[in-house]
Amino acid sequence: MKEELVKKAYEVAKERYAELGVDTEKVLQQMQDFHLSLHCWQADDVHGFEVKEETELGSGLAVTGDFPGAARNMEELQMDILKAKSLIPGTHRLNLHEIYGDFKGKPVDRDEVTVEHFQSWIDWAKENNTLLDFNSSSFGHAKSGNLTLANPDKGIREFWIEHTKRCREISNAIGEAQGDPCIMNLWVHDGCKDVSVNHMMYRNILKNSLDEIFAKEQPMMKDCIEGKVFGMGLESFTVGSHDFYTAYAAKYNKILTIDTGHYHPTEVPGDKVSAVLPFIKELMLHVSRPVRWDSDHVTIMDDTTQDLFSEIVRAGALDRVHYGLDFFDGSINRIAAYVIGSRSAQKCMLKALLEPQQRIAELELAGEGYKVLGLLEELKAMPWQAVYDEFCVRNNVPVGESWMQDVDAYVAAVTSKR
């Protein structure tokens, strides 16, 4: 019954969009090629699997909420991710942090990690037809403090340099194993809580650390670097600011990560796409949602997300962007968080693809300002939802709100027993 309704609605939508010159079949094909990189860390509030006495996240990142049922180990986390993926149309990558290694109950410090700690992930990914991405992890460790790669203390700095080099080795090995480059993100929280004066020194140190880390060619991985406006407890100064990494990425040919939660409240992340792409070859996204001081609420269809995806499509840059997610809410069902965030990001991309781009571009050049505005407003209420439903049907995943029943069933059978 429902499928019939979806079909009918889709046929109508297809005609409505055809009138505008938009081919929904082509767009559905593009959606099939739009792969998100699901972040593993929503499943367990960024705990990871390290063996250590102090399990507080601490230094650098904060997660709030104590909703029951978080994954407690690798097996549970993998199950949860597969469950979430089964409710999201399309095929998607998985983004791992170093702290999610298979450490087999042994303490492995961050400067000791090797690819063997990720072999079981590589095998799992292969079995489950998933490509992997990677992140170095410099937060939540006894040596994290306020400064890692930008630390004037040589011993601490070298510890984190070693960690990050090893993460690049691991990423490269993952890339080789999967026959597709592994995208490795580098984010460090380094900064100052209060007024400080040695800014040039910290930034020079960070630059030198990065130079050393990136010195070795790793052909089957790609480096991306992520800035931030400020971190908890480090409110006054951020060494790795957006400007710092934009300049570094442009000069040294790195991928720039745009985390939608990492800018001033009136700054528009989507506007950065066309500002940096003339100078930077590729972008990585961390699709997220800032609320007040927090940068990591679950993604929804807000203006920020819509604008970001529309800017990518309008820039003709679909194949120059990697689409990572980065939110971690511990206060709601974590599998639902993945589903809501992923499906919302997809809907924003779908709406972006359903825009009669050329026509609007021409109207703008012809000076027909009111038509540009009018058309963009009309498009907001076009039946894009019918196209998304059809996308779900074609990918064999629940249509509309019915995915919630699956989540409830999973809670009853699995997560409520944890």
Whole-angstrom Cα distance, residue 64 to residue 324? 21
- Residue 406 engages ligand RNT in binding (rule: CB under 6 A): no
Whichever of 45 and 307 has its CB closer to ligand RNT, that residue is 45
Distance CA 245, CA 227 (A): 6
Q: Does 214 bind ligand RNT (CB under 6 A)?
A: no
Tokens of 242: 């957006």
Query: Known catalytic residue: 111?
Result: no
The residue annotated as part of the active site, out of 45, 50, 259, 355, is 259
Q: Which residues contact 7 (CB under 8 A, 6 or more apart)?
A: 390, 393
Contact in structure between 296 and 328 (CB atoms under 8 Å): yes
Q: How far is the CB of 383 from ligand RNT (least distance, A)?
A: 35
322 SS3 class? strand
What residues have CB less than 8 Å from 303, skipping those under 6 apart?
none
153: annotated active-site residue: no
Longest dimension (CA), the chain: 67
- Does residue 294 carry a catalytic annotation? yes
- CA 299 – CA 295 distance, rounded (Å): 10
The partner in contact with residue 135, picked from Zn ion, ligand RNT, none with C-beta cut-offs of 5 to 8 angstroms by kind, is ligand RNT
- Residue 413: strand, helix, or coil: helix
Residues 139 and 61: beta-carbon distance below 8 Å: yes
Q: Which of 133, 326, 329, 355 is catalytic?
A: 326
Q: Strands 294-297 and 289-291, how do they pair?
A: antiparallel
| C-alpha distances in Å from residue 297, one per residue of 42, 138, 167, 339, 403 | 10, 21, 27, 13, 20
Minimum CB distance to ligand RNT, residue 118 (Å): 17
Are β-strands 321-325 and 36-39 bridged in parallel, bridged antiparallel, or unpaired?
parallel
Nearest 10 degrees: CA dihedral of 240, 242, 245, 251? Answer: -150
Q: Say whether residue 41 binds ligand RNT (CB under 6 A).
A: yes
Contact window for Zn ion (CB under 5 A) among 44-52, 134-142, 230-238, 258-266: 258-266
Per CB under 5 A, which region of 49-57, 64-72, 286-294, 409-417 contacts Zn ion?
286-294
Of residues 124 and 327, the one with the C-beta less far from Zn ion: 327
Tokens representing 409 are 């069933």
Near Zn ion by CB under 5 A: residue from 102, 190, 311, 326: 326
Active site residue 228: yes
Residues near Zn ion (CB under 5 A), total: 3
Distance CA 49, CA 99 (A): 6
Examine the residue annotation and report whether 211 is marked as an active-site residue of this protein: no
Q: Does 242 bind Zn ion (CB under 5 A)?
A: no
> Annotated catalytic, 235?
no
Q: Is 135 an interacting residue with respect to ligand RNT (CB under 6 A)?
A: yes
241 contributes a contact to ligand RNT by CB under 6 A:
no
Check binding of 259 to Zn ion (CB under 5 A): yes
The yes-or-no answer on residue 104 being catalytic is: no
Among 39, 203, 242, 286, binds Zn ion (CB under 5 A): 286
Contact between 234 and ligand RNT per CB under 6 A:
no
Least distance CB 296 / Zn ion (angstroms): 8
State which of positions 249-288 bind ligand RNT (CB under 6 A). Answer: 259, 286
Window contacting Zn ion (CB under 5 A); options: 162-170, 200-208, 252-260, 401-409: 252-260
Contact 292, 261 (CB under 8 A): no
DSSP 117: G
CB-closest chain residue to ligand RNT: 187
46 interacts with ligand RNT by CB under 6 A: yes
Q: How far is the CB of 302 from ligand RNT (least distance, A)?
A: 17
Non-local (6+) Cβ contacts of 414 within 8 A are 69, 79, 83
Q: Has 11 been annotated as catalytic?
A: no
Whether the CB-CB separation of 391 and 24 falls below 8 Å is answered with no
- Name the residue nearer to ligand RNT (CB basis): 88 or 186: 186
By the rule CB under 5 A, 133 interacts with Zn ion: no
In the chain, the amino acid numbered 362 is E
Is residue 329 among the annotated active site residues?
no
Residues between 172 and 191 that touch ligand RNT (CB under 6 A):
187
Residue whose CB is less far from ligand RNT, 181 or 261: 261
Backbone angles phi, psi at 296, to 5 degrees: -130, 30
Which secondary-structure segment (H or E) carries 216?
none
Question: Residues interacting with Zn ion, by CB under 5 A?
Answer: 259, 286, 326
Residues with catalytic roles: 187, 226, 228, 259, 262, 286, 294, 296, 326
Question: Residues interacting with ligand RNT, by CB under 6 A?
Answer: 41, 46, 61, 135, 187, 226, 228, 259, 286, 295, 326
